Amino acid sequence: MVREIRNMLNTHWCIIGDFNDLLTQQDNQGIHPHPKWLCVGFRQAVTDYNLADIPIEGHQFTWIKSKWTDHVVEEPSHLNHSPIFLHYDLGQQKRRKYAFKFENYWLKEDNIENVVQNGWLHGENHDVMHHIASCEEELEKWNKRQYRQKKYVLERLKDIMERSRRNQDVESQSWFLEAPKEYNKLLIKEDTYWK
C-alpha cells in the first residue's frame, strides 16, 4: 500500500504514526531484544521509500506506560535548516473503544463486495482516509445486521428441529433432515470467525 501511495505522489511526503516497529535495538526500552529481522525489514522499508528518521525532541520512546507519541519519517531531500512544524488534525472523529478489524469469515458472505463498494463510494470527498472510515462504518453496520439475522435463523432452526423431532408427519420428517444441514452451514461460517 505504501508503494502505491508513493507512486501516486509527485511531491514530498511524510508518514506519521506509531509503526509498532523499531529501526535499531537502541530504540528498544524493553527487557527482551526486538527481533533483528524486524529491525532490518523496517530499516529496509524506510530506505526503499527514500525516507529519513526525523529526530524527536523530548522523550525518545513512542510507548511509555500505554501512552504514545508519533514517530516521524520524511524524505531527506525536503529537510533543510528551516524549522518544520507538522500538524496532524483528525477533525471531529470519534475515538473507538476498539480497533476495527476485517473478519475472515466475511469473505464467505455473498454480498461482501457490494458492502465494501458502497462504503467506499459514500466516503466524503476524495480523501483515502475518509473512504476507509466510510468502509469501516458500512462493514460494522452490515456485520450487526448479519449477526442479528444469523442469531434469529439459528434460533428458528433449533425450534424447527425440536418440533420436527416430536411430529411424525411427512413435512416434519423432511424438515428433520434439512434443518440440521442449514444449521451446520451457519455454524461453520461462525466457526471461521474464531480462526
Instruction: Give the lowest-confidence range in 14-23, 109-118, 122-131, 185-194.
Output: 185-194
Q: Provide the domain limits for residue 180.
A: 94-195
- Of 39-53, 82-96, 109-123, least confident by mean pLDDT is 82-96
Judge if 81 and 138 occupy the same domain. Answer: no
Q: How many domains does the chain have?
A: 2
Per the prediction, the chain carries an average pLDDT of 72
* Domain co-membership, 78 together with 102: no
> Does one domain contain both 7 and 69?
yes
Higher pLDDT residue, 39 or 86? 39
Asked if residue 108 and residue 73 are part of one domain, the reply reads no
- For residue 84, what is its C-alpha cell? 518544520
Residues 84, 115 share a domain? no
Question: Which pLDDT value is given to residue 150?
Answer: 80
Confirm if 148 and 139 have CB atoms less than 8 A apart: no
Q: What is the pLDDT of residues 76-106, one digit of tens each?
A: 554 444 444 555 555 555 555 667 788 877 8
What is the distance between the alpha carbons of residues 33 and 72, in angstroms, rounded to a whole number? 22
Asked if residue 109 and residue 81 are part of one domain, the reply reads no
- For residue 183, what pLDDT is reported? 79
Instruction: Look at residues 69, 88, 107 and tell me which one is the last residue of a structural domain.
Output: 88
Average pLDDT over residues 110-122: 87
| 107 and 46 both lie in a single domain | no
Q: Write down the pTM of the prediction.
A: 0.40
pLDDT of 36 over the 80 cut: yes
pLDDT in tens, 50-70: 787 776 655 455 444 444 444
Q: List C-alpha distances in Å: 163 to 76, 116, 153, 178.
A: 72, 39, 15, 13
Residue 62 and residue 8 in one domain: yes
Q: Tell me, what's the pLDDT at 62?
A: 47
Clarify whether residues 139 and 178 are in a common domain.
yes
Q: For position 60, what pLDDT does the model report? A: 52
111 and 188 together in one domain: yes
Residues 53 and 112 in one domain: no
Mean pLDDT of 121-142: 82
Other CB atoms closer than 10 Å to residue 15's CB: what's the count?
Answer: 17
Given 35, 56, 88, the domain boundary residue is 88
**Residues 29 and 110 reside in one and the same domain:** no
* Residue finishing a domain among 88, 105, 135: 88
pLDDT over 80 at 110, yes or no: yes
In a 10 Å sphere around its CB, with 0-12 CB exposed, 13-18 middle and 19+ buried, how is residue 81 labelled? exposed
pLDDT at 97: 61
Answer yes or no: is pLDDT of 141 > 60: yes
